[in-house]
Amino acid sequence: MKILVLNGVNLNLTGRREKGVYGSETLEDINKEIAAYAKARGAEAAFFQSNLEGEICTAIQQAEDKYDGIVLNAGAFTHYSYAIRDAIASVSVPVVEVHISNVHAREEFRRNSVLTPVCRGEVLGFGKNSYILALESFLL
Ligand code: DQA
């Protein structure tokens, strides 16, 4: 089982921005933990982060036939990117949407995701463990 963990805009600042919301572990730290968890479960995780919407779309397109699933935290792209939505709808590789924070307990604009309708499911509000739970959903 090969899983691509994909992070979008501003997620590279995790551990440095809004620590009260996103925690103090860096994305690199979190990715190391995800990689170790995947290995312990007999799976393999690969990682990509970009602040560019098109690069996220390309990563989703290229995941076809290469990965069994995508764990995607698109950051703020979640709330308005029809391009990422269409990329997800264009591939057969299943995508699980992830958020570190509970987006429903925050600003109104974060309550809407244009990605959820084309994702297999969504995990949010469990901090860095949202990624682990999303990964686990592919292994059940
Ligand atoms: C986020 C939530 C988004 O609303 C926000 O724009 C982010 C991070 C999260 O992981 O909680 O950048 O996706």
- One-letter-per-residue 3-state SS of 62-96: HHCCCCCEEEEEEEHHHHCCHHHHHHHHHCCCCEE
Report yes or no on whether pTM surpasses 0.85: yes
Range of the domain at 65: 2-139
Grade residue 73 by pLDDT with cuts at 50, 70 and 90: very high
Kindly report, residue by residue over 33-50, the tens digit of the pLDDT.
999 999 999 999 999 999
The rounded percent of the chain whose pLDDT value lies above 90 is 100
pLDDT value at position 14? Answer: 98
> What is the C-alpha separation between 135 and 54, in angstroms, rounded?
24
Check if 99 is active-site. Answer: yes
pLDDT value at position 33? Answer: 98
Tell me how many domains the chain contains: 1
Q: Is the beta carbon of 75 within 6 A of some atom in ligand 1?
A: yes
Residue 41 corresponds to which tokens in the numbers above? 């479960």
Kindly report, residue by residue over 7-30, the tens digit of the pLDDT.
999 999 999 999 999 999 999 999
Residue 132 maps to which CATH number? 3.40.50.9100
- Helical pair 27-40 and 129-139, crossing angle rounded to 10 deg: 30
User: Which residue has the least CA distance to atom 6 on ligand 1?
Assistant: 76
Kindly report, residue by residue over 106-127, the tens digit of the pLDDT.
999 999 999 999 999 999 999 9
Check if 22 is active-site. Answer: yes
Residue 34 corresponds to which tokens in the numbers above? 């995800």
Given a contact cutoff of 8 angstroms between Cβ atoms, the answer to whether 70 and 96 are in contact is yes
The rounded percent of the chain whose pLDDT value lies above 70 is 100
> What is the C-alpha separation between 31 and 38, in angstroms, rounded?
10
- Helical pair 82-90 and 53-63, crossing angle rounded to 10 deg: 10
Cβ burial, residue 5 (10 Å; 0-12/13-18/19+): buried
